[in-house]
Structure 1
Amino acid sequence: MAGFARCLVAAHLLAVAVVAMLGLILPAAAHEIRPAYLQIDQTDARHFNILWKTPLMSGMPLPVVLKLPDSVTHVLEPQERPLPGSILQKRIISAPNDLAGLRIEFVGLQATITDVLVRVNWLDGRQASAIVRPSQPWYVVPAEQSRWSVAFDYLKLGVRHILYGLDHLLFVASLMLIVRNWRVLVKTITAFTIAHSITLGLATFGLVALPGPPVEALVALSILLVAAEAVRMERGEKSLTITWPWVVAFGFGLLHGFGFAGAMTDLGLPRQDLPLALLFFNIGVEIGQLTFIAAILAVAYSARLIFTLGKPVRIAAAYGIGTIAAFWAVERLDAIFFSGGLM
């Protein structure tokens, strides 16, 4: 038991170091990196409506240009309008021989860490979707697609969402400052998982809605609170968080679920795909979360054999987490009250 406690201490220190470096490198994207979205809807035998939505990064449009095949012609030239956190572009094209087999390119995507979620809807009911990665910044429109292929795409989206969701990872790391027993760790992570799955489902189906910017600010404040509780624990004090960390993990997990839902609801996905997308996106989130925990525990198990970690180091780690979370909270509150984040 003592060995596991030392391993947890080393693990959370490693997690704090990694996430802190990423948080300082990418402060404006400290929550999740939201994907771009391309939707193509067939309106008649020759015409298609194009919806191209790109996220804003530090207030600037994503430097990616949509390049359609040379064989299509524009019936309505691109028209843009700003949305909270993104730019929406609409156009109408004519494709006499359908789009199946044609290649759509995303110029500049290879220089980013953002994915593009693509959806194609035909009049005869056929659908296709895919996640385009920076490593292969193009999409060849298929004639048809299996549901398992769609499910696998959302699974990968969930994994990437949590691994790039630095604040969610830092929250998990902050819980590890308090939890020193593997049984309690299992309870705590399970409570967090159940809670964010509940609100992820409710928000994705539109049953409950909260604006994104306040949720992101509260997520940062939740990390700050747990970090403060970790300092109290090192001082020998008691509290609800210290005694029953799984209860607090469940409460804040409900909040984090709304943050996870932002990656899906912002894409405007058709309702017929939501059950499948929700299930596999959530599975992907859990795979990413458990991978993060397993990785830092595996590395820390070896590291603890070399280093001796005492109380001052644990307190320093808690202050490090709190400092990063406080920075994110101030940044996000500033965006809400001084940059029109609620509009």
Structure 2
Amino acid sequence: MIRRISLVLSLFFACLGAQDAAYGHALQPGYASLEQVGDNTWQVYWRKPDVSGRPMPIDLSLPAGCAPQTGPLATAREGAWEAWWTAVCDGPFAGGTVSIPGLEKTRTDVLVRISPMESTTVSLRLTAAEPAAIVPANPSSLDVFTAYVGLGFEHILEGWDHLLFLFALLVLIRDFWRMVGAVTAFTVAHSLTLAAATLGWIALPPAPVEAVIALSIVFLASEIALSGDGRARLSQSAPWLVTFAFGLLHGLGFAGALKEIGLPQSDIPLALLAFNVGVEAGQLAFVVAALAVLTLISRLLLKGPLLAYRPVSLMMAYAIGSLSSFWLIERIMSFGPA
């Protein structure tokens, strides 16, 4: 039975790695910025994700009174596809419909930020289920909060490396209160660097940050593999210290995603808080789901906790280590010239 469970879990991690490699930037959100620069003139910036070296088959469509409604062909730039154009619109955007044709066939979402000259900036989050929206005349702070909570929640659930880090913690730390302390330290740390990097107080190149995030998972995998030698590992005796240190790096990764999305200038603190709330909600949902699955397997198939079986935890260590090592090598190889 243990061998069968180990085989199933190995296949799961293999599929996870294949899915991550297949989608790449496809799960990153699209982004559009529409800024009014004259009475009827708008400067439009449109960025859509890259899918296997090609632009995702989605487009930005402006309200009916704008010409042109869609812009030129996007050009490749830093892992995405971008286009700029100037549109002339009859009247204000308020009451018009902004849509993303093709979004309903994808697994991503698009944030649209509309900045009129004499009114509040509007942030719209368009999804596969709702690829179009009417621009509100008087957007509320609740609209901004809701949009960025959703973006944060989806970002963490689509961030396989961050989720694998959390899962490795679940495998390594068996004591409930130690786990609570470790996750709390991780949360505090990445919240600090998320805010600092987003506000421009610190800046690091994204590629090395992503590589070190993968390295943090390799470290946890090695701790799991070596935890059966009878000696207390650093990550078990002082888990909060390890998770706080790595949480600082993961926060820089979250900040990179948030910078790509953009923040409404009139509501930066609120949007930053909302994105972080979304990330935390996503983390909590994942931890609860993972614990539920492990508990279910333990009760239905085994006589004790699944992770108490050394062969299972050792198999997980090698699976987590192999996948994170693959990510580490892949990200190091993607380093461009300085």
2:85 matches 1:86: no
For structure 1, the 5+ residue unaligned runs are 1-11
AA at the equivalent of 2:119: G
Q: 1:63 to 1:171 in 2, by over 3 A?
A: same
2:16 matches 1:22: yes
- 8 A Cα contact 2:24 2:52, kept in partner: no
Sequence identity, in percent?
39
Which of 263, 279, 303 in structure 1 is aligned with 2:257? 263
2:228 matches 1:234: yes
Q: 1:144 to 1:20 in 2, by over 3 A?
A: farther
CA distance in 2, matches of 1:95, 1:214: 43
> Higher mean Cα deviation, 139-148 or 157-166?
139-148
For structure 2, the 5+ residue unaligned runs are 1-5
Aligned to 1:178: 172
Q: 1:272 to 1:102 in 2, by over 3 A?
A: closer
Q: Show the 5 A alignment for 1:1-343.
A: 21-27=15-21, 29=23, 33-74=27-68, 78=72, 80-308=74-302, 309=306, 310-336=309-335, 340=336
What is the CA distance between 1:274 and its match in structure 2?
1.8
CA distance in 2, matches of 1:146, 1:86: 31
AA at the equivalent of 1:35: P
CA distance in 1, matches of 2:24, 2:176: 28
Root mean square deviation of aligned Cα: 2.5
- 8 A Cα contact 2:26 2:50, kept in partner: no
What is the CA distance between 1:75 and its match in structure 2?
11
Q: 1:223 to 1:158 in 2, by over 3 A?
A: same
The normalised TM-score by structure 1 is: 0.88
Provide the secondary structure at the position in 2 that maps to 1:269: coil
CA distance in 2, matches of 1:212, 1:17: 30
Aligned residues: 328
Q: Which has the higher contact order (CA 8 A, sep 6+)?
A: 1
The normalised TM-score by structure 2 is: 0.89
- 8 A Cα contact 2:48 2:80, kept in partner: yes
Aligned to 1:4: none
Aligned to 1:5: none
- 8 A Cα contact 1:19 1:170, kept in partner: no
What do the CA deviations read for 1:129-152 (whole angstroms, capped 9, x no partner)? Answer: 111001121232222211111111
AA at the equivalent of 1:159: F
CA distance in 2, matches of 1:18, 1:100: 47
